[in-house]
Structure 1
Amino acid sequence: MTPLRHLAPQILLALSALAALAVVPDWPHRHPGDPHFLAVIACALLYGLLLARPSAPWSEGSLNRRLGAAFLLLLPVIYVGAALRFSAPPAAMALELAGLAVWAGLAWGALRSGHVLALACALHALWDAGHFARAGYIHDWYVVACIAVDIGIGAYALLMVHRATAAGQAA
């Protein structure tokens, strides 16, 4: 039998998925083209890939590290897409494009370091929080869901990198 502490990363990831899904107001297929709902589908796929492969490596160049970097790159794309779709003011669009540059840099760093991936997820949760009830083009439910996902993916990555390091694997 697997000790509960060995399942902690998967349990944490599953709980963050449930927390995020709890605030999604409708089924994504009813909102084609809405970046918020496209993000829900993308995150469900990411969670499925991570949970289906709990013993997969987290070393530099691994699929998990590339998935994490892709996740970081997708985060600002959703914000830029929402700003375009919901006609954000030019200053807001400039902010989201600057965010895209920052998260692209962090995604590049995450390819090389699992700790950068975890830190970038935590930073994105703060970015999300700054949009709550302030950005008319970002739905508040999405902000809450994204914070849950950011914390879940970041903590999962940190735990998995720590596990790999403790096992003597490069992470």
Structure 2
Amino acid sequence: MTTPDMLLVRYRDAGLRIATAESCTAGLLAARITEVAGSSTIFDRGVVTYTNRSKQELLGVAAETLDAHGAVSEPVAREMAEGMLARSEADVAAAITGIAGPGGSDAKPEGRVCFAIALHEGETRTETQELGPLGRKNVRRAAVDHAMSLLDAAVGEPSP
């Protein structure tokens, strides 16, 4: 598992900064990254966009994308990450949107979380994880852990 200390060293050594755009994790990723001293050298900013309107206003997510795919989708995660990257001084932006629970639907079950990593140098990567009905707290924790791993991998080879 990627720790905040590992991420700090990798991003500091690479001279890169991170920004975050979060929905279902409500700032927990930003909090995890910044829980270590020195994190101000790698963390630019984070935004919590819980509503569709906030995703549109703060990150530039298109209403058409939300209408066509819903907030919990890779296209929305992509637009969140790319919007955060464009609105920050970061080199890498991570976005998380999902259904932490309780509840969900057959089409979008509890524990479905979509991620995106946008890079100034490179293509935006998206993926969906089906974390399952672990309960709200555990889905959010697992989503942050996964996002930390994605941020680690964005720098190059993952830390040992």
Q: TM-score, normalised by structure 1?
A: 0.29
Q: Which structure would you say has the larger RCO, counting Cα contacts within 8 Å and 6 or more residues apart?
A: 1
Q: TM-score, normalised by structure 2?
A: 0.31
Q: Which structure's residues are more often helix, by fraction? A: 1
Q: Which structure's residues are more often strand, by fraction? A: 2
